[in-house]
A and B are shown apart, each in its own frame.
Chain A
């Protein structure tokens, strides 16, 4: 069913569209009927047929998952080759981009692959890994470079790399800063209920302020600070730019970090802490040997959430001149250039998935060891 829809979508909604240049809006384009395109479309359709058949029997679900991968790759290859064929007869500034039918089909194939994996009670990791691997191979092999997105990427290579580095610095810096504040603050709050009330009050209050407003709020005092101590400006600190962005993002990370640290530190039951104290462990020994190892899972969960938030929030740094991938996105929005927006968004998504996967891996490793 899903396979059938996925196979039909490119024909009903169009595979590609063509625009005279990178800024004008695209129109649907017909499929160029060259041999390589026809071949790969045939593979796509055959894989779709096979998938529909394989999905009917529980035993061949693994085969169905592999056929979904084949569909995905054939679809990508068709788009790449069709784009190349289309551009051959068009002006040099013309752009070919995937149309609604392509996106629809990608979505449906993903659903079918996921359903096949779920049908045999597994996570669709085989599907994702194989699709990603095949996709990367196509990309590196140059099979896709006629598509508009990659043309844009090629044209802006250094700019994207710089934005990515900035983005990493912004989110990583904010993450470290928040960690340096939240760690000691959680330890303090563990001992003193008053400190906890203050910490949680501040962290919650920050959370309520919309992020852009918070960046704005930080601009004024930082600007004043720099006016007072001009030396700060030589260190790159000012009312706008990366400094308030890092501070603002860090402020947002305070709540997930501090609350998960506190929850983790409090995971050990009181009777256990009493047994530890009763045997003559010092507070520091209890912290190191009991509270930290027992709460590590919960604390890592908080780190995971905060890392993903940091990557996402760093996108907004562009609004106050902080740079990062957000700069590409907002530039793309300003120019109504969908490719540019995607070029900003895709690395953000990839970064946050990577950060999440890394910490999730750490969490699993910890769970296996405990």
Chain B
């Protein structure tokens, strides 16, 4: 869906902000760009909607080189969400969400229906929020509106630059879960930037690690965190926390054994091995239920590595 081919970009003198990165996010997946502050994540992301032009290399969206495409048209077809949200303070929530549909010249009735549908999608009651101004929203609500605005014209691709980094931890976890749900419902391709290791592991179908503008590693999270991970990866994820992060990349169901689990604490569907471990610690149990007839034992969990 989106593909960077050997793209580089240098600002002024010194080392390039992005250095010969080749990367692809397949259609319908969430690709996460992970790296420390200043590693070039935003610069790479912004090449996808031409807010930054590469010095070398090319960017393909849906198989077409974007360099030749009219820039406004390209951007109207790609959702864009940023950390500071960037809602227009003098416009109501409905007017903000309608930005791109209006640019595209949709009819008023179609826009109104779309706004209400999107508000429901991001779990905000339309009657209550439609006519509010951005100043009357909490941080989490504002970013939900930011997400609704990006989805307004139903673009196949979303670019999200640290959208949840300014939120408090509880709200951040809620929104991560919401994004996963919305992604499952809409099937969008998402390129998501974060410096938060846990957030990356919660969201990523594919994970790319950037360091000083270079691509350090790329692949499905389970492979990246496997035993052979290099020193830079170990440092980024933290030596001591690595084992726990690794559990977060594996499904609890993979270690389940058949048995009667009716009386055990139950895991939600799709839970990871990290969730299983935390539930055992929380409940003081030596096993948890993955399904009514399948359970995961403490011994299997610690032996798996």
Report which A residues bind B (CB closer than 8 A): 269, 271-272, 274-282, 285, 289-290, 293-294, 370
Contacts and interface: CB of A to CB of B under 8 A. Distances in A.
B239 interface: no
B103 A276 contact: no
Given A271-B82, A274-B51, A274-B82, A279 B89 contact: no
Contacts of A370: 90
Nearest to B72: A280
Contact of A290 (B49, B88, B100): B88
Interface residues of B, number: 23
Quick one: which of B51, B72, B100 has the most chain A CB within 10 A? Answer: B72
5 shortest interchain CB distances as A-B pairs = A275-B86, A280-B76, A280-B75, A278-B80, A271-B84
Contacts of B49: 278
Quick one: which of A279, A293, A370 has the most chain B CB within 10 A? Answer: A279
Given A274-B51, A285-B103, A279 B80 contact: yes
Where chain A touches its partner, the secondary structure class is: helix
A128 to B, nearest CB: 33
Contacts of A276: 86, 88
Contacts of B99: 279, 281
A275 B80 contact: yes
B73 interface: yes
A5 B282 CA distance: 82
A278 B51 contact: yes
Nearest to B49: A278
A200 B149 CA distance: 39
A294 B77 CA distance: 26
B90 A279 contact: no
A36 to B, nearest CB: 59
B305 to A, nearest CB: 43
Nearest to B104: A280
Contacts of B74: 280
6 contacts: A269-B84, A272-B88, A275-B87, A280-B72, A280-B75, A290-B88
Contacts of A269: 84
A279 B88 contact: no
Nearest to B83: A271
Contact of B100 (A274, A279, A289, A294): A279
A116 B51 CA distance: 59
